[in-house]
Structure 1
Amino acid sequence: MTLEPQAQETGAKSSPETPAAPSRFNRVMKSIFSPDAGTIAGAIVLALLIGALLVVFFNAQVQETLSYFFARPSDFFAAAGTAFSGFFTSLIRGSLFDWQASTAAGMFAPITETLVFATPLIISGLAITVAFRAGLFNIGVQGQLIFGAIFAAIVGVNLDLPPVIGLIVAILAAVIGGAIWGAIPGYLKARVGANEVIVTIMLNTIAFQFLNRLLQLPILIGDGLPSKSIQINENDWYPPLLGSSYRLHAGFIVALLAAVFVWWLLERSTFGFELRAAGENPSAAATAGINVNRVIFTTMVISGALAGLAATAPVLGTEHFLTNGTAGSFGFDAITVALLGRSRPLGTVLAGLLFGALNAGGSTMQASANIPIDIVQVTQAVIVLLIAASEARKYFKAKKAASQAVSASAKGASK
């Protein structure tokens, strides 16, 4: 298999040594995916405040007291204060520590749920990070995650392997499934210059429809009903880390090991140097003798493999079966995680923990404070919008300043 682009009909020869210049879209996205720490912190704080204010605005008691605000304003401010503080207290109780729980296990359960929710987000965020550092935007993590889940479930349902070996084989199957689905856009990008964003979006839809069809076949459902697979062999499950009282499993350790691997790959390996060079300036990398197209293909394979690994968290860790909802929205949430993590392994881990906390706290917010769980998705979306708007503004402001400087220089030269 060759990864050199085909020559154009005009006779001009294309090769890995003469890659196309990055588009304006790529340059803007690179700016957005590299926010400074102050922008990230500000966006998180402001998004949480906006979320709390939305809770106040839609709170039934606040709306009721607003109807007689001028007669007794203290009722309004008391209700607004209760709703505002309830957003944060319920979030903490659901994600870190529940001081109102009746048992010690219940008090510490929230932090374990945060780690459970964070596990697939961290690994899928790392998949986005690897691709982005090579100048690629792998929007297909969702589809690659689905294929990883399919491969792991097929192995877990149909092979009766002994403990440990069964788990290792299922994990490897998930990694292979994701890598195969990541190799397709990688090959098309390297071979014919196909836009990886468009290709991966289409592959997401194909993967989802393929999963729906597969969940009607005996290979996964046996004699059962469509849409849900047979339970995966227990020997293929991730072992619990804190006993049967908690859902936290060894997949979280795998996520941390994946972060260490990605750090080593990007910062210490020879391929990581080539990957970063190709991502920063493909033309300069090609001039230095780096086969940029090979880097593109390999990067997408690695990114897909990590996405497949992320699928093991729900399939082998918490659910132990496969449905068309197993992948959830992990692949899309991973984009936000990588954005918050500044496309760095440590930052991605911390961002995954933050989003895990928001997801874990959502159920407690709904149950104890009567706050719609959708407020979590709204808060996450606001974080992304604030960062994207801030970084895009900086990018275009810098571009305008550079343009003005060039114009001033040209005028000076003409005098």
Structure 2
Amino acid sequence: MMQLIQRKQSTFLTSLVSVLLGMLVGAVMMLVAGYDPIQAYAALLSSAFLMPYDIGETIRTISPLILTGLAVGLAYRTGLFNIGVEGQFIIGQLAATIIALKLDLPPVIHAVVAVIAGAIGGALWAFLPGLLKATRGVHEVIVTIMMNFIALYLSNVLVRNWLSAGADSTEKIPSSASLRWDSLSSLFGGARIHMGIFIALASALFMYYLLWRTTSGFELRAVGFNPDASEYAGMSVKRSLILSMMISGSFAGLAGASELLGTSGYLAIQGAHTGIGFDGIAVALLGANTPGGILLAASLFGILTYGGSNMQFVEGVPFEVVRVVFAAIILFVAANIVRWGTQKFRKKAVKEHA
């Protein structure tokens, strides 16, 4: 028990120090470029929390990051590296759009069916990498990277040739399929906050319950830790690999569906990936692939993303600086700078006392 507590404290400390060092890197960049980092960061934070509208928009930005972070985190916990969250996100958007535009259903039911379609779409898109991994040993990183591009271009083709009759974007989805709730939006000054945040929080609870409170979750984690020992113990490794990829894909599909139904309201032809799925990798890494950690990491990245736009507007600091901060944080987490520093300090202490 004591070792578990120490490990959690070490993980939290690593993430905290990495965030501080990443912010420091951003501050140095600003100084070199002639900007005031104190004023810039003050503008960033004030824009995220100063007004109810800003708080609502920050929460809206955080919502899909939680879901894509959960998608990456769950896969990693079960021994898989799902790089295809971006593609599964796009397929989730596409599936939700099809249901929203092609079916005529009553309010609420329409939105629920569209969200479920997004989750199923993401799960099915993740099924093939899981199947190839389980049956042929094909590495999931290679397959999911390629499927990201297939998802992007498939979505573009269907938008232009089927969903919009030649236009670059679809029509607005009907209000019956929207995740917007006027009472919630008015509470935050008319912000575009939507029900996606509740979907994200429920998904985090589901991931925790599944992995740490069910037999199936124990099997998924056991297979990820040691597939050979799990197979010897009678667990189905193939089934676990496929199931974990599909659950991971369903989280990504939920992210795409909620973002489409709650924020944009239509699907347009995209020249490049959205980036939300790739940001989920950073969120999961900083959050140590745990639901609680992912919630905190997504909140941080959401604040930096939304606040970074205001920092650019108020102080003139390029938004790319925020992306550099993201990259620096992940670099420090990956390098595990805290453990490296602790080991150096211990070695030095041992030599001095020798």
**1:262-301 map, 5 Å:** 262-301=207-246
Structure 2 gaps, min length 5? 1-8, 344-354
Match of 2:347 in 1: none
Given that 1:263 and 1:345 are in contact with CA atoms closer than 8 Å, whether structure 2 keeps it comes out as yes
Given that 1:146 and 1:311 are in contact with CA atoms closer than 8 Å, whether structure 2 keeps it comes out as yes
Match of 1:73 in 2: none
Match of 2:39 in 1: 86
Cα offset, 1:392, TM superposition:
11
In structure 1, what is the Cα distance between the partners aligned to 2:257 and 2:338? Answer: 35
Q: 2:316 aligns with which of 370, 387, 391?
A: 370
**1:196-275 map, 5 Å:** 196-218=140-162, 220-222=163-165, 225=167, 227-240=168-181, 241-243=184-186, 245-275=190-220
In structure 1, what is the Cα distance between the partners aligned to 2:327 and 2:74? Answer: 23
Shift >2 Å, 4+ stretches:
324-327, 390-394
Aligned-residue identity in percent: 41
Q: Relative to total residues, which structure has the larger helix share, 1 or 2?
A: 2
Report the structure number with the largest CA radius of gyration.
1
Structure 2 SS opposite 1:42: helix
| Residue 105 of structure 2 is aligned to residue 161 of structure 1 | yes
In structure 1, what is the Cα distance between the partners aligned to 2:273 and 2:70? Answer: 16
Aligned amino acid, residue 330 of structure 1:
I
Cα offset, 1:168, TM superposition:
0.7
**1:144-159 map, 5 Å:** 144-159=88-103
Match of 2:350 in 1: none
In structure 1, what is the Cα distance between the partners aligned to 2:10 and 2:294? Answer: 13
Aligned-residue CA RMSD (Å): 2.1
- Paired residues in the alignment total 330
Given that 2:185 and 2:193 are in contact with CA atoms closer than 8 Å, whether structure 1 keeps it comes out as yes
In structure 2, what is the Cα distance between the partners aligned to 1:121 and 1:393? Answer: 27
In structure 1, what is the Cα distance between the partners aligned to 2:221 and 2:334? Answer: 22
**1:14-29 map, 5 Å:** none
CA separation of 1:35/1:188 partners in 2, compared to 1, >3 Å: closer, same or farther? farther
Aligned amino acid, residue 312 of structure 2:
Q
Relative contact order, higher structure (CA 8 A, sep 6+): 2
CA separation of 1:89/1:319 partners in 2, compared to 1, >3 Å: closer, same or farther? same
Structure 1 SS opposite 2:160: coil
Match of 1:188 in 2: 132
Cα offset, 1:390, TM superposition:
2.4
In structure 2, what is the Cα distance between the partners aligned to 1:249 and 1:256? Answer: 13
In structure 2, what is the Cα distance between the partners aligned to 1:286 and 1:258? Answer: 29
| Residue 36 of structure 2 is aligned to residue 95 of structure 1 | no
Cα offset, 1:279, TM superposition:
1.1
Match of 2:284 in 1: 338
Cα offset, 1:108, TM superposition:
2.2
Match of 1:385 in 2: 331
TM-score when scaled to structure 2? 0.89
In structure 2, what is the Cα distance between the partners aligned to 1:166 and 1:111? Answer: 28
CA separation of 1:290/1:35 partners in 2, compared to 1, >3 Å: closer, same or farther? farther
Given that 1:145 and 1:327 are in contact with CA atoms closer than 8 Å, whether structure 2 keeps it comes out as no
In structure 2, what is the Cα distance between the partners aligned to 1:169 and 1:202? Answer: 29
Cα offset, 1:242, TM superposition:
3.2
Structure 2 SS opposite 1:242: helix
Structure 1 SS opposite 2:80: coil
